[in-house]
Structure 1
């Protein structure tokens, strides 16, 4: 079988929505060529192994996906281009927005993309490793999350995910109940379980994300503690939580701070990421207006994470 490689030259800001568009168009996985990966984790938590700088663009990022060649391919590609171009309507910088198509043989497609995914230590305790890497823990308290990029929205090395896992590591306590809003690949749900949560309720509106979360929970032995449901944010949810985490766009975060506040136990934490620098004050104002106390504002590259707390007494 012949495949077509769809390559989108865009910005770091647009990685998540572009990846989602490619998944919805039938791609089972994406490759992200981000030059920041070459140096991102070497200073504090470890390093990425065996990455070749020649595979990465000099500026911006390239998101690649693979689709089988068929009679509908041209129509699918045009729909992809249109959907990506429409992201500007949501205030998302799509950069060069150069979309190219390359024919590739199945035997090359099946293995070539694996060179982009290596084990990476992203926090004091958590290391993310692709399933085909024979990675062993180097310390007794190291937690390894196995990911299969072929069925996930991300491998966990995007700054918004790194910030979220670092925050979860600090604020999740043993036997906590967690709500993961916009679960995507389920990596934050899995991390929460490994960090001691008793139960995680994972919600996503996308049925592909729901299945990805289920798959990755099972892959990491967390399927009995991760309860996955297709749901729009926190609509209709009544489950109280110690921590709520949401790694989604700022425009979505500001739609449900009241729901998050009402579902958090007094003293509970609302961890929100996926926020670009220009939308930081939008989210801050929304959280504070709802009654949250801002505990921390953390940053990696151009991405912001808020740790907000529901007061013990109101």
Structure 2
């Protein structure tokens, strides 16, 4: 069996109509892709952010004994969306699950430190290998901000330390810290799916017994008065600035921290807010505009 793929490039406001149109015409699936290489930041729960310009792709089954009238289908779609560029192609039947899996490769963070999709063989069996299901939640190591945090953890002494992963997503940072020798990781996220993903990835790597993960209110109860030796937060600049005083209460004096999810033009503002509580020691950049800020907690009193 062959499959017909129809790709339509539309503005964000036209996505719902286009998706509904393709479904009503018998598409077996409809997918959305970025048309202009535009970055999307990690969404909050309940949010579904879209790119400004989107490629909407409908897939139609082309049975051997039931041929789709491609010309009529495309003509009808064009009448509904006359200004939208449209292309189509036929693709051969294939193992779609295998195709999705083939899109992922092991990612090398440093010489003896890798992220490995769970179905693949580790390139270096003697390295620290983080097994990961990339489909669970935000944080696969492919994004620059996640890579920067993983890189920082690999260069930080976490052995026998208490680590906090704030905004844990897939749990990749907390799992990495445990595989690198951390004594205990406390992780939290506002998304229940991220909590589940973190649990699953910790179990996959055999470190679930050393990890606590929960929603913020549960996390605060579990943490109690304990403070972190090492703290990492890969979220967004706005929440990072808002949470700076709270983060200061979670980290020991002289405790080490790293913040990511920060764009180049946001570094000065974030650093200015954190300078009240933290000594900013380093700013590292990756992929032109994503940055990581790291340093140590100051030994100074403060009030929330």
Would the aligned equivalents of 1:260 and 1:270 in 2 still touch at CA under 8 Å? no
In the alignment, is residue 305 of structure 1 matched against residue 261 of structure 2? Answer: no
Q: What TM-score does the superposition give when structure 2 sets the normalisation length?
A: 0.72
Q: Quote the residue 1:210 is aligned against.
A: 195
How many residues matched? Answer: 241
Would the aligned equivalents of 1:198 and 1:225 in 2 still touch at CA under 8 Å? yes
CA pair 124-104 structure 1, distance change in 2 beyond 3 A: farther
Would the aligned equivalents of 1:13 and 1:276 in 2 still touch at CA under 8 Å? no
In the alignment, is residue 249 of structure 1 matched against residue 205 of structure 2? Answer: no
Q: What do the CA deviations read for 1:165-220 (whole angstroms, capped 9, x no partner)?
A: 11111223311001100000000000000111100000001011000000000011
Q: Quote the residue 1:294 is aligned against.
A: 280
1:124 CA drift (Å): 3.3
CA pair 254-234 structure 1, distance change in 2 beyond 3 A: farther
Q: 1:264 aligns with which of 237, 247, 251?
A: 251
Q: Quote the residue 1:76 is aligned against.
A: none
Other structure's SS at 1:155 match? coil
Would the aligned equivalents of 2:106 and 2:116 in 1 still touch at CA under 8 Å? yes
CA pair 128-12 structure 1, distance change in 2 beyond 3 A: farther
Q: Quote the residue 1:103 is aligned against.
A: 59
CA pair 252-11 structure 1, distance change in 2 beyond 3 A: farther
Deviation larger for 191-200 or 121-130? 121-130
Cα RMSD of the aligned pairs, angstroms, is: 2.6
Structure 1 segment 89-168 matched on structure 2, within 5 A: 94=51, 96-103=52-59, 108-137=95-124, 140=126, 142-168=127-153
CA distance in 1, matches of 2:109, 2:208: 23
Would the aligned equivalents of 2:190 and 2:215 in 1 still touch at CA under 8 Å? yes
Other structure's SS at 1:134 match? coil
Other structure's SS at 1:197 match? coil
CA pair 181-7 structure 1, distance change in 2 beyond 3 A: same
CA distance in 1, matches of 2:59, 2:171: 32
CA distance in 1, matches of 2:136, 2:250: 31
CA distance in 2, matches of 1:306, 1:270: 8
1:295 CA drift (Å): 1.1
List gaps (5 residues or longer) in structure 1.
26-79, 85-93
Q: Quote the residue 2:80 is aligned against.
A: none
1:265 CA drift (Å): 0.9
Would the aligned equivalents of 1:203 and 1:232 in 2 still touch at CA under 8 Å? no
1:13 CA drift (Å): 3.2
In the alignment, is residue 16 of structure 1 matched against residue 42 of structure 2? Answer: yes
1:8 CA drift (Å): 3.1
Other structure's SS at 2:209 match? coil
Would the aligned equivalents of 2:167 and 2:187 in 1 still touch at CA under 8 Å? yes
Q: What TM-score does the superposition give when structure 1 sets the normalisation length?
A: 0.70
Q: What do the CA deviations read for 1:249-292 (whole angstroms, capped 9, x no partner)?
A: 1111111111111221111012100101111111111111x221
